[in-house]
């Protein structure tokens, strides 16, 4: 007997995520949000102190979260450690993006923004960077002010956008 599993329509409708292929080693690799400079010597030394068993385990977060909270002078509950950037994006979309909501992307950007938005069943709206890769700030502010979208932008963008709520500006 064949059983058909019910798959959400958003999964069936999404674009397939196709990671870049082989032969990327000697190129500027921004597509996977990789650290192209390699590991810090401090990280290499810390990893060398771990046993093979410790390296194979999922990390324990409580102690690290407390240490980072002290360092950044925030409460531990104000931090969320994740297993990399993709996991952080997945957590964001799971928590804040409902099916049918709009997500605003500024492209080019990392493909996982679109991927998780489509999986969430969101409508994807796209703005493009300018010819000189200038951030489309005015268009983003207009879209946010009109409450048309949850606003997302690639991590490397270092600009501040004024918040209409009167709070301090938020980094995009």
Query: What is the per-residue pLDDT across 12-30, written as a single tens digit (0 to 9) for each?
Result: 887 777 776 777 777 766 6
Which percentage of the chain shows pLDDT scores above 90? 21
* C-alpha separations of 108 from 61, 135, 146 in Å: 33, 10, 23
> Where does residue 114 rank: exposed (0-12), middle (13-18), buried (19+ CB within 10 A)?
buried
Based on the fold, state whether residues 65 and 111 are members of the same structural domain. Answer: no
Give the span between the Cα atoms of 52 and 35, in whole angstroms. 23
Give the span between the Cα atoms of 172 and 165, in whole angstroms. 16
Based on the fold, state whether residues 168 and 143 are members of the same structural domain. Answer: yes
Q: Is residue 12 part of a domain?
A: no
Q: Is 45 helix (H, G, I), strand (E, B) or coil?
A: helix
Structure tokens given for 85: 């950037």
Between strands 170-171 and 150-151, the pairing is unpaired
Based on the fold, state whether residues 75 and 89 are members of the same structural domain. Answer: no
Give the span between the Cα atoms of 57 and 59, in whole angstroms. 6
Query: What is the per-residue pLDDT across 43-60, written as a single tens digit (0 to 9) for each?
Result: 999 999 999 999 998 888
- Given this model, what pLDDT does residue 42 score? 94
Give the span between the Cα atoms of 157 and 30, in whole angstroms. 13
Confidence of residue 76 (pLDDT cuts 50, 70, 90): very high
Q: Is 103 helix (H, G, I), strand (E, B) or coil?
A: strand
Range from 39-48, 81-90, 155-164 carrying the lowest mean pLDDT: 155-164
- Given this model, what pLDDT does residue 149 score? 65
Give the span between the Cα atoms of 135 and 132, in whole angstroms. 9
Among 44, 64, 82, the domain-final residue is 82
Domain that holds residue 133: 85-172
Higher pLDDT, 62 or 135: 62
Based on the fold, state whether residues 104 and 116 are members of the same structural domain. Answer: yes
């Amino acid at each position: 007997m064949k059983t058909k599993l019910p798959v959400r329509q958003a999964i069936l409708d999404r674009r397939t995520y196709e990671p870049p292929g082989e032969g990327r080693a000697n190129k500027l690799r921004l597509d996977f949000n990789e650290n192209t400079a390699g590991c810090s010597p401090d990280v290499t030394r810390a990893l060398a102190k771990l046993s093979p068993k410790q390296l194979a385990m999922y990390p324990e977060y409580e102690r690290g979260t407390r240490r980072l909270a002290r360092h950044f002078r925030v409460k531990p509950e104000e931090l969320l450690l994740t297993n990399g950037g993709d996991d952080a994006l997945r957590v964001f979309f799971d928590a804040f993006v409902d099916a049918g909501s709009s997500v605003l992307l500024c492209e080019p950007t990392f493909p996982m923004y679109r991927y998780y938005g489509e999986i969430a069943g969101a409508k994807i709206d796209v703005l493009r960077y300018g010819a000189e890769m200038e951030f489309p700030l005015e268009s983003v502010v207009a879209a946010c002010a009109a409450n048309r979208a949850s606003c997302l932008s690639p991590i490397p963008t270092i600009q501040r956008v004024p918040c209409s709520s009167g709070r301090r500006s938020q980094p995009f």
